[in-house]
Structure 1
Amino acid sequence: MASDDMPFLILTRAGFDDIVARIEQPGAVLLLNPGIASETELARLREAGATIHLLPAAIAAGPAPGLDGVLHAAGAGGAAWIEHAVATPGPVAPAVEPERLPEEQSRALHHRLVGTVGSLAGHALRRLGRFGQGGNPMLLPYLGFGNANKLWVKGRVLDEVDFREQTGQDSGWHNLVALYRRLESDQVSGARVVARFQDQVMETHTDRGGYFAFEIPSSAPLSGGWHEVELELPDSATRDRGVVRTVAQVSVPAASARFGIISDIDDTVLWTNVTNKLNMALMLARSNAHTRKPFKGVAAFYRALSAGASGQDENPMFYVSSSPWHLFGPLVDFLRVQGIPLGPLLLRELNMSQVLTLTSHGSHKLDKIEQILGYYPDMQFVLIGDSGEQDPEIYTEVVRRHPKAVRMIYIRNVNPDPARIDALDRLIAEVSATGAQLILAPDSVFAASHAAAEGLIHVDRLADVRSDKREDDKLLHSST
C-alpha cells in the first residue's frame, strides 16, 4: 500500500505494526502516540524516508460516532488514515463520549473534507470546503480600534456555522469538535459589505479570503470607550430571511490613558508552544478558554498595567499575534474567561494549509505594530513578548524606527541558551542607548515589581500579581 504522502494517525501498538507492514515508508507521515514504538524502530523508519511526529500526549483510541465518520470519509485528494478502535481483550481505557453532530451537518461535513494541513491532515486542522450550496452568509466582525478622528474595522464573511459555547467540563473530543468549527475556512469572496457610523456610509467587497476592512472618518471628535459600527450584507436577503446585519465593537483610548500596551499572545499570555506547530495545534484541540490557563500572574499584571499608576488610567491594550484570524473567537473567549483586559487583536490572514508552516512572523508583527503606532502618534507604549521567537528583535526594530514611542519592553525569558542570552544582551544595550529599557523578566511578579518602580503601575497592585501567581501555582500543582 503506497502512502502518497497520506498522514497516518496511529494510536496503538497493533495499529503501528499493521501500518508499518503495509505502507511504503518513503514519503509516509506518521503521527504516533508516545510509547508505542521504540527509538530504534523510529530511527529505522526515518532512515527509510518516513516523517515521524510523536504526539505530546496520548490520545485514547475509541469510537467516535460524530466526527469519526467524517474523519474516516477520506476521499481522493488529501485523505488521511486514522486508526479505528477495535475490541481487544484486556484492560480498555474508558471511552470518551463524543459529540454527536446533527445528521444533516454530519453529511455536509462528510463532503467537505478536502486538502491537507501539513502533518495534521485528517486531524484537528483539516481544511474544510464550502458549507454546502445553501449555507447562510455570516458577518464576523473583529474588535477594532481608533482615535478621536477615525476608526479601523476588520471582519470576515463566512458560510454560517453553528458554534456552541464551551465549558470547563468539555472533554477533549468536544474541544476537537469546536476546533474543527473554529478553523473552518468557508470564506465568501466578493461579498458586498456596507458599514454605517454616525453619518458615514461606506462600502467594500471581501477579498479572496473573505476578509474586509474599513477606515471610517468621524464627523465629530470621538470620546474614549467602545463605539459601535453597523455592518450589513446588502445582497444577502432571501425569501426566508432579511439582510444579514451585525455590529462591530471599536475601542478608542480614554483621555486619561498615559500609555498603551502591545502584547504578544503566543507563549507570552498563554502557553501555545508556537515554535512547534503540531504541538500548538494539539494543545488547542485538547483545551478551551475555560481549561486553558495564562502564564502565572499575567492576568493581574495586565490589569495593573491597564489601570496604570493612578488605578484609573484606562490604558488601552492591543494584542498582536502570528496566530490566524480563525482563532479570534477562542482567544477573545480566553481573555474574557481569565479576566485579562480585552483589547483589539491583530492576527494573521492565513489559509489553513499555511497554519503549521508560519513564515514572515516578524514582518507581520512589525506591520501591525506600525499600524497601531500610526493611530496614536503622541502615545508611548509598553511592549510585552517572550524570548522564544523574534519578539526582542521586532521590538528593538520598533525602537529604531520610533525611539520616542516606546517607554518599556518586557520580555519573558523562555530560552536559556547562552547564545540567545548574548544576543539579548546586545539588544538590551541598543535599546538602552535610546532612553528606553528592555527588561528580561523570569515571571510576571518580577516584571510587575519593575513596572511599579518605574511608575507604570500602582505599588498596591503588586500584592494582586503575587496572589494571582500563587493561585495559578495551586491550580498547576492540583492538576499534576
Structure 2
Amino acid sequence: MFKKDPLQIIAFLTYGTSSHLYLRGRALEDENINLEAKGTFRLLVNAWKRFETDELKNAELKVKIGADKHFYTKTDNDGYFLLDEKVEGLSNYANDEGWVKIEASYCEEKLKRNIQSDNRFPGEMLIPSPSASFGVVSDIDDTILHTGLVSTLKWRALINTIFTSAGKRLPLEGAPEFYHMLHQGKSGDDANPIFYVSHSPWNLYRYLEFFLKKNNFPKGPIILRNFPTPFNRKSKDEKPQKQKEILNILKTYPKLKFILIGDSGEHDPDIYIEIAEAYPSQVLAIYLRSVKHKKKMERVRGLFESYKTTPVLLVESSEQAIAHAKENGFIRMS
C-alpha cells in the first residue's frame, strides 16, 4: 500500500481591514515540490504535481490570531477555504507594515488520517498602514515577469512556466526597484500596499510567491483564480475574475487611491479603463507595459487616444515609469 504524503495548508497572502478578516487558502497533500529544481524531467514532474493535486475535501480547519482569537472554517470539494468574517481589533495584531500573522491547523479529532508533520501552518493578512498614501494593483504576467503571453498559441508562456524553475525566472528590468519606490512613496516611509493580481490559477501560487520573494519585490497579497474547467461557462455579461478581484480591493479600501499596472498584451487596458471610469476618484494613474506585438500596441494606442479620465502611460522601460511617477509626486525625487 502506498504511503500517503504529509498534509499541508497553504494560507495565501491576503488582505483585510481592522474589522474584516479575509483569509483564503488550500488544504492538500504536500508533494514536496522543489522550486529550484533543474533538468527537464524534474521540471515536468513538478508541473504534473502542481496541477495533479491531492486536496483535502470538506476538511475542518482552525485559524488562530495571537493567543486569544480562534476561528473555524471548512474546505470545499477542491480543498479551498475562505474565512470571511467581521472581527474588531485586528489592527492590534499588525506590525508596522500592516501584516497580521495567522496560524492555520487541521482539526485533528475530525480528520480521518494521521498528520505526518507539525500541525501548524503560517499565513499573513495585510491591513494597509495608516501612513499609506496610495495602493498599487499590479498584474504579474508580462508586467513584472516575462511570460510570452502574446506569442502564438501562448506556447512561450507554457514553455516558460513548465520548463523554467521559479528560481531561474527573471523579472523585467528595473521592476523590483520601481515597485519598492512605489511602496515607499513620496516620503520614503509610506508603506503603500502592493497587490499582485493575476489571471494565473492558484496552482501556481507557490511558484509566483517564490519568484516575487527571490527577486526582492515588496511583499503583498497575491490574488489568482481557480483553475478553469470545461463546465465553468461564463455568461456574456460576466466580468473577468481578475476584474472582480480588483474591484473588491477598491471597495475594501474606499478612501485609498490606487495606481493600476499591467501590460498591453491581453485584457488589462480594457479592464483598467472600465475600472477607472467607474471609480475615477480612486484611480491615480494607469501604467501599461508595452509588448512586442504591432497590432496589439496599435489597438491599445487607439484605445487611449482620446482618453482623459485618468493619466495613462504606455511603459517602454522602468526608467520611463520612474520618471513619470516622480513628476506626479508618487515617489521621492531623490
TM-score w.r.t. structure 2 length? 0.87
Correspondence for 1:6: none
Please, which of 144, 147, 172 is the counterpart of residue 17 of structure 2? 147
SS at 1:421 equivalent = helix
| Map 1:51-200 → 2, pairs under 5 A | 134-164=4-34, 166=36, 170-197=38-65, 199-200=68-69
Q: Give the C-alpha shift of residue 302 in structure 1.
A: 0.8
| 1:450 equivalent in structure 2 | 324
In structure 2, the partner of 1:217 is: 86
User: Does the aligned pair in 2 maintain the 1:139–1:244 contact within 8 Å?
Assistant: no
For 1:314, the aligned partner's letter is A
Distance in 2 between residues matched to 1:448 and 1:428, nearest whole Å: 22
> Residue 311 of structure 2 aligns with which residue?
437
- Counterpart pick for 1:414 among 291, 297, 302: 291
Q: Residue 164 of structure 2 aligns with which residue?
A: 287
- 2:304 maps to what in 1? 427
Aligned pairs for 1:260-409 within 5 A: 260-275=135-150, 276-350=153-227, 363-409=240-286
Structure 2 contact 264–296 (Cα < 8 Å) conserved: no
C-alpha separation between the residues in 2 aligned to 1:208 and 1:424?
A: 44
On the 8 A contact 1:185/1:352 being kept in 2, the answer is no
User: Greater relative contact order (Cα 8 A, min sep 6): structure 1 or 2?
Assistant: 2
Match of 2:129 in 1: 254
| AA aligned opposite 1:264 | D
Aligned AA for 1:286? F
Which deviates more from structure 2 when the two are superposed, residues 141-150 or residues 176-185?
176-185
Identity %: 31
Q: Distance in 1 between matches of 2:266 and 2:35?
A: 32
Tell me the distance in 2 between the aligned counterparts of 1:183 and 1:236. 24
Which residue type is aligned with residue 204 of structure 1? T
Contact 2:105 2:119 in 1 (8 A): yes
The 1:320–1:442 alpha-carbon spacing in structure 2 relative to 1, beyond 3 Å, is same
Q: Give the equivalent residue in structure 2 for 1:245.
A: 120
Q: After TM superposition, give the deviation of residue 231 of structure 1 in Å.
A: 1.4
Question: Equivalent of 1:204, from 66, 73, 76?
Answer: 73
Taking structure 1 as reference, are residues 346 and 154 closer, same or farther at Cα in structure 2, changes over 3 Å only? same
Q: Could you tell me whether the CA contact under 8 Å between 1:260 and 1:380 is conserved in 2? A: yes
| 2:105 equivalent among 228, 232, 245 | 232
Q: Within 1, Cα distance between the matches of 2:60 and 2:23?
A: 15
Give distance in 1, aligned partners of 2:139 and 2:42.
28
Match in the other structure for 1:76: none
In structure 2, the CA distance between the partners of 1:304 and 1:240, relative to structure 1 (3 Å rule), is closer
Q: Hey, what's the Cα distance between the residues in 1 that align with 2:237 and 2:226?
A: 12
Instruction: Report if aligned partners of 1:151, 1:216 keep a CA contact under 8 Å in 2.
Output: yes
Q: TM-score, normalised by structure 1?
A: 0.62
Alignment partner of 2:170: what SS? coil
What value does the CA root-mean-square deviation take over the aligned residues? Answer: 2.7
- Describe the shift of the 1:366–1:205 C-alpha distance in structure 2 as closer, same or farther (beyond 3 A): same
SS at match of 1:219: coil
Q: Is the 8 A contact 2:201 2:226 kept in 1?
A: yes
SS of equivalent residue, structure 1 residue 231: strand
- Using the TM superposition, name which of 196-205 and 379-388 deviates more: 196-205
Give the secondary structure class of the aligned counterpart of 1:244. Answer: coil
Distance in 2 (CA, whole Å) between partners of 1:210 and 1:183 is 13
Q: Which amino acid aligns with 2:136?
A: I
Whether the 8 Å CA contact 1:393–1:427 is kept in 2: the answer is no
Over 3 Å counting, the alpha-carbon distance change for 1:361 and 1:247 in structure 2 is: farther
Q: CA deviation at 1:274?
A: 2.5
Instruction: Give yes or no for contact 2:290–2:297 (8 Å, CA) kept in 1.
Output: no
**Helix, strand or coil for the counterpart of 1:429?**
coil
Aligned partner letter, 1:377: P
User: How has the CA–CA distance of structure 1 residues 428 and 339 changed in structure 2, closer, same or farther, with 3 Å as cutoff?
Assistant: farther
Report the structure number with the largest CA radius of gyration.
Answer: 1
Could you tell which deviates more after superposition, 212-221 or 345-354?
345-354
State the secondary structure of the residue aligned to 1:315. Answer: coil
- Alpha-carbon spacing, 1:361–1:347, altered in 2? closer, same or farther (3 Å): farther
CA shift in 2, pair 1:414/1:174, >3 Å: same
Counterpart contact for 1:147–1:252, Cα < 8 Å? yes
Alpha carbons 1:428, 1:439 under 8 Å: kept? no
Q: CA deviation at 1:351?
A: 5.2
Following TM superposition, by how much is the alpha carbon of 1:164 offset from its aligned partner in structure 2, in angstroms? 3.1
Judge conservation of contact 1:236–1:244 (CA < 8 Å) in 2: no
1:375 Cα deviation from its structure 2 partner = 1.6
Q: Is the 8 A contact 1:270 1:295 kept in 2?
A: yes
Q: Unaligned 5+ residue runs, structure 1?
A: 1-103, 105-131, 461-480
Shift of 1:391: 0.3
Distance 2:297 2:177 in 1: 29
Contact kept? 2:137, 2:260, Cα under 8 Å: yes
